[in-house]
Amino acid sequence: MAIKPVLRMGDARLLRHAENVSAFDTPELHALLSDMRETMQALSGVGLAAPQIGVNLRVVVFEVQHNPRYPDAEAVPGTVLINPVITPLNEALEEDWEGCLSLPGLRGLVPRYLHVRYRGQDERGALIDRTVSGFHARVVQHECDHLDGILYPVRIQDMTQFGYTEELFPGQEMRDE
Ligand code: NI
């Protein structure tokens, strides 16, 4: 287990289409997930995708525990999601602020589907099938975008709503995805 360096926007490895995982419950997969969790926790991130540490596989992790410092943030169960497929349940979109560990110190206002179903597998190959809304849905969409080489700035509709966290939200601590 190790805390890995997180690639930053501009690194071409963040722009690749990641590959499906075909072998589950292997020492290599468990080691990758340990590294991802440890890196995400060390940086107080909400989520992390394998490509962000240079591993080109369709693997994401995310977790939001209730934290009194972020009273508005909904809790999201700790999840390992492999080979995910996201299906919007309707056309409803919601805009909200996002950050990303690959763009440290920045925030942007990003539209996301409000209600989605997501399916995939956990590290042992067991099926995951959830229907979620709001912040949970946003986190999943953000992380899974990384698997297709998409960073959130490309989804911002109004580039005046993109900038440094310290300037946009002075004095506020905010977590990155
Ligand atoms: Ni991100």
Q: What is the 3-state composition of the chain as percent helix, strand, coil, each rounded to the nearest 5?
A: 25, 30, 40
- Long-range CB pairs of 38-41 (<8 Å, 24+ gap) are 38/1, 38/2, 38/3, 39/3, 39/4, 39/6, 40/101
- pLDDT value of position 174: 81
- Please tell me the predicted confidence (pLDDT) of residue 118: 98
Q: Which residues contact 54 (CB under 8 A, 6 or more apart)?
A: 4, 7, 13
Q: Report CA(111)–ligand 1 centroid distance (Å).
A: 15
Q: What's the CATH number for 12-168?
A: 3.90.45.10
Residues 6+ apart with CB under 8 A from 143: 47, 48, 49, 60, 61, 62, 81, 177
> Would you place residue 69 in the very low, low, confident or very high pLDDT band (cuts 50, 70, 90)?
low
Average pLDDT taken over every residue of the chain: 95
**Is 143 annotated in the active site?**
yes
| pLDDT, tens digit (0-9, with 9 covering 90-100), for 14-50 | 999 999 999 999 999 999 999 999 999 999 999 999 9
Residue 49 CA, ligand 1 centroid: distance in Å: 7
Give the pLDDT band (50/70/90) at residue 168: very high
Predicted local distance difference test score (pLDDT) of residue 172: 86
Alpha carbon 42 to its chain's center: 15
Of 63, 98, 143, 177, the catalytic one is 143
Q: pLDDT at position 175, please? A: 79
Ligand 1 centroid to residue 24 C-alpha, Å: 24
What distance in angstroms lies between residue 135's CA and the mean position of ligand 1's atoms? 14
| pLDDT number for residue 1 | 72
The answer to whether residue 71 scores a pLDDT higher than 80 is no
What is the structure's pLDDT at 177? 77
Q: Would you state the pLDDT for residue 74? A: 84
4 CA distance to ligand 1 middle (Å): 15
What's the mean pLDDT in 123-147? Answer: 98
